Amino acid sequence: MVDALERARAATSGSCASAPAGGGSAHAAGAAEPEGASEALSVSAAMALAKGALEGVVVRLVGEVSETSSKRGYKAMYFTVKDADAALPCMMWMGRYKASGVDLAVGQLVELTGRFTLYAAKGRMNFDVFSIELAGEGRLRAQVAALARKLEAEGLMDPARKLPIPQFPLTIGIVTSPRGDAVHDMLRTLRNRFPVARVFVAGVQVEGAQAAANIVEGMRCMYRAGVEVMLVGRGGGSYEDMMPFNDEALARAIAACPIPVVTGIGHEPDTFIADMVADRRASTPTYAAMAVTPTRENLEELFCAHARSLSMSAGRAVERAAAEVRRCAERPVIRDPNSLLAAPMQGVDMASERLFRAIPASLERDRATLDRQRERLSRLLPEGVARELAALERYRERLLPALPASLECDRVRVGHARQRLASQGPGLVPRFGQQAALAAARLEDLSPLSVIGRGYAIARTQEGVVAKSVEDAPPGSALEVTVSDGVLACRVESARREDIEMILWEDEGNGDR
């Protein structure tokens, strides 16, 4: 760049800057003519000479965008950058501008690389921009925007992923600087709005290169403490000071936190990536504390609503119980208790009436029979027997009044006997069990295994069929003969038909002999 400046200085020292119109003098009033300026140049030639000298100078500069001009059909983007003492018009061909990915706006601080050039038709100098980048805070904002787009594409900012904030958290964690105003504002707000909550504070560094890692560690401490909701925030500051809250590791930690996270960072217009991935974003630390605590009015309204609900539920329960009592009271059994036992009691009365009618008649018949027997005995027996009969008559007269009570006692004893008989029914089961055992013993005697045990055998063919005839086992066939202690594998050499009764008779005869 120094060489280009030297070449430009040498080129301009040997010629005039401009030529007068109409062939007049080319010198300014009072100016001495430079040495070596032997002939005057035309305006076009002078502009071409200056343009050639300027375009050899490629520089990189930083300035603030003060104005922009881009209309439909323009082939270039026109804008002006400035600093405290100067302004420089710039142009950038549209292809280069779109490829840079920068969206110019007034107030941005940009870093430009390009060369000076002249627009000969108007005699204006501007800066031909080769490349453009955001500088300072603008660069940081571009990086943050790119990270935000990446995290949004991964779903970390999806509202469906975010956790609900507890309505009445009893344990609240705060992750912030222990020396700033933010922690005092949050503690004061929590104490005034919801004093029953326990508050845990993790004092961490919120500014500097290690701030993001410290905030993540503070969040881990709050998780281990078992808080129900977590506040992460700090007071205001420059955009560079707030950069820890745009850290990717912190954003992923907030998104992965199993506890709801509420952020309150900076002031009202500030929004950071930590705000975007948090379960709820508050504009300031104070509003963050308000977001996790209910107001007194909300509590009173909630308690009133619950009181109304309980009252209505209790009223409905009382009404249902009263209706049930009324239904029970309308039942005939409740209205007239005697109706339940009316039929059995009438039956008892009728049976008692029949019994009391039957007993005197029976006693009268017995009395008449006794009188006849007494007369016969009095004629047949001595007087001693008559006396005994008289005594017996007295006993009978004494017995008659007690007979109904005796009958009632007999009825009670019969009832007891019937109950004992019903309870002794299961005692009959063993007798039938013995009969079943005898039947099982008979079946055991008829079992083929018992027959084999007595010395007989069973022959089966290879198909497992019992050989009952010589035709079932022709010579050469294989047989399995089951005896009492195993199975014999045999082969039939010959077979003959004989009378089985004769064989059994001979066996019995041999046994007798």
CATH number, residue 266: 3.40.50.2300
Co-location of 193 and 284 in the same domain: yes
Select the highest-mean-pLDDT range: 48-52, 60-64, 260-264, 377-381.
260-264
Residues 6+ apart with CB under 8 A from 116: 54, 55, 57, 59, 125, 126, 127, 128
Section 3-32 average pLDDT: 39
CA distance 413 to 415: 5
Given a cut of 50, is residue 139 above it in pLDDT? yes
Helix axis angle, 248-256 to 211-225, nearest 10°: 10
How many structural domains does the chain have?
4
Given a cut of 60, is residue 11 above it in pLDDT? no
Section 303-312 average pLDDT: 89
CB distance 198 to 171 below 8 Å: yes
pLDDT at residue 83, rounded to an integer: 86
pLDDT tens for 393-432 read 777 777 777 777 777 787 788 877 777 777 766 666 677 7
pLDDT at residue 200, rounded to an integer: 95
The pTM assigned to this predicted structure is 0.41
Select the highest-mean-pLDDT range: 16-30, 56-70, 419-433.
56-70
Section 270-278 average pLDDT: 84
For residue 475, is it within any domain?
Answer: yes
pLDDT at residue 16, rounded to an integer: 33
CA distance 306 to 298: 12
For residue 410, is it within any domain?
Answer: no
Domain that holds residue 376: 354-403
Co-location of 171 and 290 in the same domain: yes
Co-location of 164 and 263 in the same domain: yes
Co-location of 95 and 210 in the same domain: no
Co-location of 111 and 166 in the same domain: no
Distances (CA, A) of 266 to 194, 252, 269, 389: 24, 20, 8, 130
Co-location of 163 and 261 in the same domain: yes
Given a cut of 90, is residue 111 above it in pLDDT? no
Extended strands (E) in 278-381: 280-282
CB distance 133 to 74 below 8 Å: no
Helix axis angle, 338-380 to 383-423, nearest 10°: 150
pLDDT tens for 213-242 read 999 999 999 999 999 999 999 888 777 778
For residue 419, is it within any domain?
Answer: no
Co-location of 229 and 129 in the same domain: no
pLDDT at residue 357, rounded to an integer: 76
What region does 481 belong to: left with phi over 0, alpha with psi -120 to 50, or beta? beta
Q: Which residue, of 266, 294, 322, is where some domain finishes? A: 294
Confidence at 266, pLDDT banded by 50, 70, 90: confident
Given a cut of 70, is residue 318 above it in pLDDT? yes
For residue 505, is it within any domain?
Answer: no
Co-location of 97 and 221 in the same domain: no
Pairing of the two strands 229-234 and 171-176: parallel
Helix axis angle, 137-153 to 248-256, nearest 10°: 30
Given a cut of 80, is residue 21 above it in pLDDT? no
DSSP per residue, 428-471: GHHHHHHHHHHHHHHHHHHSHHHHHHTT--EEEETTS-B--SGG
Least confident of 166-170, 435-439, 490-494: 435-439
Co-location of 472 and 368 in the same domain: no
